[in-house]
Structure 1
């Protein structure tokens, strides 16, 4: 399958470099380049990309606003955030509204290609270790009481085993780690993760991890009942 990719960055040199580096992959077709978020949404309508590589800080419409707009669509493309920082607040906000992950702008081209392929396959872009770094960054500021209450009420919608899997995702565990801890098969863990995403209206496991943290579950030993 050919992956249709849209590149969004306000720096024409960055766009040209990414197009040159990624366009050489046999299974990736660069369908367009956009200089800001408003162009990105218009070009998504026109070209229907599978994946959007999205810069965060841009004029006219920033990447965060564009990501939220795109991910709210019924036929939403996957969004991978381009950033120069591992875990700044803008990246976290993009993940909360549905970005599948992020890559640093100095990431080797082969790793960016691998990230694009992973999101199309439905696999996580962020490793468990990076997810844990993000959670630690969020934990430094804590969740406001209103966000904590909303998160706890959403987690209460899950069945017991689904909650256990969600908490394990919040701890940054991989599917294999969760399977070993809960005495489940890896396919069963994947099924539970899919059910959690569907029930909570989330896009990816990073959003699960952030929601679990917001609910205060990780600080309370994992009991969300």
Structure 2
């Protein structure tokens, strides 16, 4: 009726989802923060460079969702997961797409697993919003790895369950041991890799090589030129005593190189 006050006119908008972004790469953190903070219903309340910082930030800011990388110095993402899950929803956001890591992250309570380069900004935002509701999202690499685990009999019974309304949600572990007492579960693996002597940037690029990215994709991801990528790859190959991407990736992953060379020293 005209002239009547609007009973909903002064209802405040809903509070934005509060997020913590955990990644050891400051460029990745800055990009994610800029992207997510540009949405009216999302707010990045803290950034973290490793699992321990993510845990401290979660205790301090009580976020709705933590975006968590896997490989970080100090306490890595897998080691931090059991201590974050009882506090909030955790969405893995990483370059690591190996099946054992995907399966372990879901087993430890992650609400989804996104591999960089396999989602659009809108898809990331949707996954973040859904993580709070317990609706998991998997990008193609993660979904494929999970399917392979199921076919091999690995199972994921401890990772997801049905809610009363029939939707899937994360069941997660219940460990609440103080994170200050925890050492990274992947310490041995990271220690082995450190013997190669790669710098932080070289290790990042090696991860992208192992994930199957081209030089052009690596350049775009790292915000550097393709020439700089090639220079990094030359140094990586020298340190890993490798002559091809396949050989370097096999050594980096800690697996025996049994496949044929992919074109020798071409990159």
| TM range, smaller chain | 0.5 to 0.7
Q: What is the aligned counterpart of 2:82 among 68, 90, 95?
A: 68
Counterpart-to-counterpart distance in 1, 2:75 and 2:30: 20
Gaps of 5+ in 2: 1-13, 174-267
* Aligned-pair CA distance for 1:23: 0.8
* Aligned-pair CA distance for 1:19: 0.6
- 1:124-148 CA distances to partner (integer Å, 9 max, x unpaired)? 3238x888634432146544xxx99
Match of 2:130 in 1: 118
Q: What is the aligned counterpart of 2:164 among 179, 191, 210?
A: 191
- Superposition TM-score, scaled by structure 1 size: 0.60
Counterpart-to-counterpart distance in 2, 1:103 and 1:125: 7
| Mapped contact 1:8–1:37 kept (Cα < 8 A) | yes
Match of 1:220 in 2: none
| Mapped contact 2:92–2:114 kept (Cα < 8 A) | yes
* Aligned-pair CA distance for 1:82: 1.1
Computed over aligned residues only, the root mean square deviation of the Cα atoms, in angstroms, reads 3.2
| Mapped contact 1:87–1:137 kept (Cα < 8 A) | no
Distance 1:118 1:139, change over 3 A: closer
User: Aligned ranges for residues 88-127 of structure 1 at < 5 Å?
Assistant: 88-106=99-117, 107-126=119-138
Match of 2:255 in 1: none
Counterpart-to-counterpart distance in 1, 2:49 and 2:132: 23
- Superposition TM-score, scaled by structure 2 size: 0.51
Distance 1:190 1:66, change over 3 A: closer
User: Aligned ranges for residues 1-225 of structure 1 at < 5 Å?
Assistant: 1=14, 2-71=16-85, 73=86, 76-106=87-117, 107-126=119-138, 133-139=144-150, 142-143=153-154, 191=164, 193=166, 202-203=171-172
| Mapped contact 1:87–1:134 kept (Cα < 8 A) | yes
Counterpart-to-counterpart distance in 2, 1:203 and 1:37: 17
Gaps of 5+ in 1: 155-165, 170-188, 205-225
Counterpart-to-counterpart distance in 2, 1:130 and 1:57: 17
Q: Which structure carries more relative contact order (alpha carbon 8 Å, separation 6+)?
A: 1
Distance 1:131 1:8, change over 3 A: closer
The number of equivalent residue pairs is: 157
* Aligned-pair CA distance for 1:87: 4.8
1:80 partner SS:
strand
Counterpart-to-counterpart distance in 2, 1:66 and 1:85: 16
2:164 partner SS:
helix
Distance 1:90 1:112, change over 3 A: same
| Mapped contact 2:107–2:172 kept (Cα < 8 A) | no
Distance 1:119 1:139, change over 3 A: closer
Q: For the pair shown, which has the larger CA radius of gyration, 1 or 2?
A: 2
